[in-house]
């Protein structure tokens, strides 16, 4: 049996530092990038109404970072909130207290988040992998394989415990996942938030619903951008990011069109959690990363 050849990902290569700086826009144009900030968390929060997950996923000025009586850390970071209910809890609690008390920590988190995250980078990295893999439909064995490939020393038994703890911590997501999986198994298909039908494997039910609905959000936003700024030239999609070109010296005009498009999008969706799109300009692909 021959050696398996790894598929070349041109889009990922194009966004890498090796090539990105050489990809330039047309003459008289500049690149613009718009990514769905917290797109997946917004959809999960909208579908499940999980209070813990919603608080942790959506960043807003002035939100407190605090512990409740159950030991759960209410903070705008899903990975650390989840971690507060796992074996990483003592490390996270010490980190919190070292930067506290609550008012001081909340201020630091809002003004110097990157500094605080670096202090607990190793633990957060593991928790991030577990969180994303679990939401994407992975089970403990696959999570363990992923962590091992990343050089993390976490046992399969620990992965099992982390997996179970995630669903207990965000119980309303677990409840919705089980519901949508039963629907998929019963009727043999699912319909996303935009009316599109798909036939994912039952274990991928939640992830399919989230990802396909996010695609709908991105397409709807692109439509609003083109309507509000006819000179926008679409280049490509990159996951939940839209990349295009606009004429040089029209940034402020485009900022207004972008702001209007975001408002129109959320008016049309009428979700309990607003969807936001970032905005970056640049002279090449590297500048808009």
Residues listed for the chain: 289
Residue 1 has pLDDT above 60, yes or no: no
How many Cβ atoms sit within 10 Å of the Cβ of residue 54?
20
Q: What is the pLDDT of residue 4?
A: 54
Residue 214 has pLDDT above 60, yes or no: yes
CATH class of 24-50+174-289: alpha beta
Residue 14 has pLDDT above 80, yes or no: no
Residue spans of the domains in the chain: they are 24-50+174-289, 51-169
Q: Tell me the helices (H) and strands (E) count for the chain, helix number first.
A: 14, 9
What is the Cα–Cα distance from 143 to 131, expressed in whole angstroms?
Answer: 9
Q: Give the global pTM.
A: 0.85
Q: What is the pLDDT of residue 38?
A: 82
Q: What is the pLDDT of residue 265?
A: 96
Sign of CA dihedral 146, 92, 69, 81: negative
| CA-based end-to-end distance of the chain | 40
DSSP run (H or E) holding 11: helix 10-14
Residue 19's pLDDT band (boundaries 50, 70, 90)? confident
């Amino acid at each position: 049996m021959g050696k398996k050849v790894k598929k070349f990902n041109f889009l990922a290569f194009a966004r890498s530092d090796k090539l990105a700086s050489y990809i330039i826009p047309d003459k008289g144009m500049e690149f613009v990038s718009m990514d769905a900030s917290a797109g997946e968390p917004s959809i999960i929060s909208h579908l499940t109404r999980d209070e813990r997950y919603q608080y942790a996923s959506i960043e807003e000025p002035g939100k407190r970072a605090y512990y409740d009586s159950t030991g759960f850390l209410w903070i705008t970071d899903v990975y650390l909130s989840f971690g507060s209910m796992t074996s990483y809890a003592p490390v996270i609690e010490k980190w919190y207290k070292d930067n506290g008390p609550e008012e001081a920590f909340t201020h630091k988190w809002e003004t110097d988040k990157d500094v605080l995250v670096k202090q607990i980078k190793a633990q957060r990295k593991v928790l991030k992998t577990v969180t994303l893999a679990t939401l994407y439909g992975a089970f403990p064995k696959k999570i363990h394989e992923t962590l091992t490939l990343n050089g993390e020393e976490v046992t399969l038994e620990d992965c099992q415990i982390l997996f179970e703890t995630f669903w207990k911590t965000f119980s309303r997501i677990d409840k919705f996942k089980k519901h949508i999986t039963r629907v998929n198994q019963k009727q043999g298909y699912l319909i996303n938030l935009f009316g599109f039908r798909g036939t994912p494997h039952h274990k991928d039910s939640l992830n399919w619903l989230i990802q396909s609905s996010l695609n709908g959000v991105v397409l709807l936003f692109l439509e609003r951008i083109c309507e509000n700024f006819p000179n926008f030239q679409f280049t490509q999609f990159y996951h939940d990011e839209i990349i295009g070109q606009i004429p040089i010296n029209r940034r402020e005009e485009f900022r207004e069109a972008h702001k209007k498009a975001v408002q129109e999008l959320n008016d049309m969706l009428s979700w309990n959690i607003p969807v936001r799109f970032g905005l970056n300009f640049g002279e090449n692909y590297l500048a808009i990363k």
